[in-house]
């Protein structure tokens, strides 16, 4: 009883992250009886939160603590599925920020002469732009590509452990439909007939959406995620639901560990593990991933592929698993920068459901005027690179040769690392029922740094500290705007300093792409960061760098 009472007082001092939606009778659960709270319980409990109230002050607070706990139990009696968001929306917009208003036509690079390889399997590593030209000219059919990629998924997928579910019947149906439409002159655009895969946290009607985790491995969500719908509307062909680390952490899922196609002894990193692995291995034309804190950047780096993490508020998360409502972002993982632009052009913008979305144009033009462009670089992060420094420095050399006048910059000097509790608290709330039910014991990873322990620990984060962290986050957003006023984009080692955490907190877009290889033959990467809602210019600059190098044209040797 004493241990239970101690736990209750701790819970009593933790506030909720969300406002409870309308109550439906069928969702109610029986509230637990309240155990009386005493000073002897409160005194040791407050130390966990770094508090030091004397006994008199604690005595005065006891009645309020009981009332709070009663309120907690009433709220916990309501079943809150993962797709119910909090009635608190994160605002990434700095004071005085102005959106670009005019919407211009999307300008794709000329495809040039694209020749179909004699062996259709040699098309596996063609870019989306190249495949699109072959399909548009009816040099190859969508069905032929689809069958080829399906065969590769079946042949190489098991060793890479990158596939949760093949959507074979759906893919063949969509491919045949695409071919019929194109034959009739109804060409929808560059994604029409292109085979792709999605990270298995996006729902697809008629198929399981497992979130990579044992407790959800048989889950079926009867709706198509907005991103899936938009790609379907663009004529793309869904091939597979690809692996992800359990509940969007790492590369370990309920069926194994997703592999890096460049080195099968390594995991592919995560949590968009299967999306990066399958794309790098030429098992799909492109894929969809998500990022909360590195889940596109990290696996794209490990697998030597190109990824776009868009601005927070750009792509609908309707139909996607929520991990952190104020940090989750959906993006593309592709073979080239312009492929990322093509996919982003199909999926961005409000959908009338996700209330965090903003209406802002995407005016992509691959041309860059280096004389007008202001390119920053995180000098301290480049100087402090320990491994593969020559590779990182070569990026700056390439940019200077292209005509960039590089401006040394520094990130805001605020305690960004302490803001990790924002993600921790929101993730614990998103999976509160999993923790309380004890079903987290079913998850594969159970070490101290894994989700089960993190969720439990995060219940001890006080609401006051969560709010204070978001106030510091506001300051970071304002300071980043001051920095970005003087530059259009900046370049950084992908894991340099606090950049990855900071820009995920502020919502800035990022393009990550290969910039070389280690002595062991595994890929390395560089990251370009753009202004909020500045994906167009960001992608154009990253494309210029990619076109001046050939790292993206190299492919791993696969094992059957």
C-alpha torsion sign, points 147, 149, 153, 155: positive
User: Is 199 marked active-site?
Assistant: yes
**Residue 481 DSSP label:** H
Specify whether the CB–CB gap between 227 and 347 falls below 8 A. Answer: yes
d(CA 49, CA 45): 8
Q: Where are the alpha helices (DSSP H) in 198-336?
A: 226-233, 273-280, 297-303
Q: Which helix (H) or strand (E) holds 155?
A: helix 142-160
386 preceded by a cis bond (ω within 30 of 0) = no
Q: Per-residue pLDDT tens for 434-464?
A: 999 999 999 999 999 999 999 999 999 999 9
Q: Per-residue pLDDT tens for 481-516?
A: 999 999 999 999 999 999 999 999 999 999 999 999
User: Is 113 marked active-site?
Assistant: no
Specify whether the CB–CB gap between 320 and 225 falls below 8 A. Answer: yes
Total residues found in the chain within this entry: 560
Range of weakest confidence among 6-15, 125-134, 320-329: 6-15
The residues with which 196 forms a beta bridge, in sequence order, are: 238, 286
Domain boundaries, the chain: 1-80, 120-358+368-413+469-553
d(CA 127, CA 546): 13
Q: Token match 């608190």: residue?
A: 88
Nearest CA to 362 out of 310, 397, 317, 318 is that of 310
Q: Per-residue pLDDT tens for 188-227?
A: 999 999 999 999 999 999 999 999 999 999 999 999 999 9
The residue from 142, 199, 269, 392 that is catalytic is: 199
Q: Which helix (H) or strand (E) holds 240?
A: strand 237-242
Q: Is the pLDDT of residue 15 over 70?
A: no
Confidence (pTM):
0.93
d(CA 80, CA 83): 8
Q: Is the pLDDT of residue 17 over 60?
A: no
The residue from 295, 332, 424, 525 that is catalytic is: 295
CATH second-level architecture of 120-358+368-413+469-553? Alpha-Beta Complex (3.90)
Q: Is the pLDDT of residue 165 over 50?
A: yes
As a whole number, mean pLDDT of residues 108-112 equals 93
Q: Is the pLDDT of residue 136 over 70?
A: yes
As a whole number, mean pLDDT of residues 35-58 equals 93
Share in percent of the chain as helix, strand, coil (round to 5): 40, 15, 45
Q: Is the pLDDT of residue 525 over 90?
A: yes
Supply 140's token pair: 């190859």
Q: Per-residue pLDDT tens for 356-373?
A: 999 999 999 999 999 999
Q: Token match 């924002």: residue?
A: 422
Write down the pLDDT at residue 23: 36
As a whole number, mean pLDDT of residues 370-395 equals 96
Write down the pLDDT at residue 522: 97
Supply 411's token pair: 């990130």
d(CA 308, CA 288): 10
Range of weakest confidence among 112-116, 130-134, 449-453, 507-511: 112-116
The residue from 142, 213, 271, 498 that is catalytic is: 271
């Amino acid at each position: 009883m004493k241990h239970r009472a101690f736990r209750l007082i701790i819970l009593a001092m933790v506030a909720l992250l969300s406002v409870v939606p309308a109550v439906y009778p069928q969702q109610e659960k029986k509230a637990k009886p309240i155990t009386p709270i005493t000073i002897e319980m409160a005194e040791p409990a407050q130390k966990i939160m770094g508090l030091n109230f004397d006994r008199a002050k604690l005595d005065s607070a006891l009645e309020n603590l009981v009332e709070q706990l009663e309120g907690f139990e009433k709220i916990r009696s309501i079943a809150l599925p993962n797709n119910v968001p909090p009635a608190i929306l994160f605002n990434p917009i700095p004071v005085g920020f102005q959106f670009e208003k005019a919407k211009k036509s999307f300008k794709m690079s000329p495809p040039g002469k694209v020749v179909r390889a004699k062996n259709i399997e040699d098309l596996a590593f063609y870019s989306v732009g190249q495949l699109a030209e072959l399909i548009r000219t009816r040099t190859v059919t969508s069905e032929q590509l689809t069958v080829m990629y399906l065969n590769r998924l079946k042949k190489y997928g098991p060793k890479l452990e990158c596939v949760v579910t093949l959507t074979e019947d759906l893919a063949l149906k969509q491919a045949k439909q695409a071919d019929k439409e194109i034959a009739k002159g109804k060409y929808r655009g560059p994604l029409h007939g292109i085979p792709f895969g999605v990270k298995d946290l996006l729902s697809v009607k008629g198929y399981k959406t497992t979130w990579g985790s044992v407790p959800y491995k048989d889950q079926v969500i009867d709706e198509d995620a907005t991103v899936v719908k938009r790609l379907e509307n663009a004529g793309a062909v869904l091939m597979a639901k690809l692996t992800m680390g359990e509940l969007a952490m790492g590369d370990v899922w309920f069926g194994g560990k997703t592999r890096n196609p460049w080195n099968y002894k390594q995991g592919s990193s995560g949590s968009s593990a299967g999306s990066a692995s399958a794309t790098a291995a030429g098992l799909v034309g492109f894929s969809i991933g998500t990022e909360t804190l590195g889940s596109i950047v990290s696996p794209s780096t490990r697998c030597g592929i190109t990824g776009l993490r868009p601005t927070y508020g750009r792509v609908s998360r309707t139909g996607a698993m929520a991990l952190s409502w104020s940090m989750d972002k959906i993006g593309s993982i592709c073979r080239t920068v312009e492929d990322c632009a093509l996919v982003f052009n199909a999926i961005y913008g409000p959908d009338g459901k996700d209330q965090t979305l903003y209406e802002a144009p995407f005016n992509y033009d691959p041309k860059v005027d280096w004389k007008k462009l202001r390119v920053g670089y995180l000098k301290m992060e480049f100087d402090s690179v320990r491994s593969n420094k020559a590779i990182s420095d070569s990026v700056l050399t390439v940019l200077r040769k292209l005509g960039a006048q590089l401006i040394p910059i520094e990130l805001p000097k605020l305690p960004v690392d302490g803001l990790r509790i924002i993600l921790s608290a929101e993730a614990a709330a998103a999976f509160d029922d999993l923790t309380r039910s004890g079903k987290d014991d079913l998850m594969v990873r159970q070490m101290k740094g894994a989700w089960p322990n993190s969720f439990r620990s995060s219940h001890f984060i006080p609401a006051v500290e969560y709010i204070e962290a978001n106030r510091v986050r506001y300051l970071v957003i304002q300071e980043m705007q001051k920095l970005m006023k003087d530059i259009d984009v900046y370049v950084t080692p992908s894991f340099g300093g606090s950049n990855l955490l900071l820009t995920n907190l502020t919502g800035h877009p990022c393009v990550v792409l290969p910039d070389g290889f280690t002595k062991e033959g595994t890929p390395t990467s560089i990251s370009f960061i753009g202004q909020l809602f500045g994906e167009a210019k960001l992608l154009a600059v990253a494309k210029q760098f990619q076109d001046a190098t050939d790292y993206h044209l190299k492919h791993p040797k696969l094992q059957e």
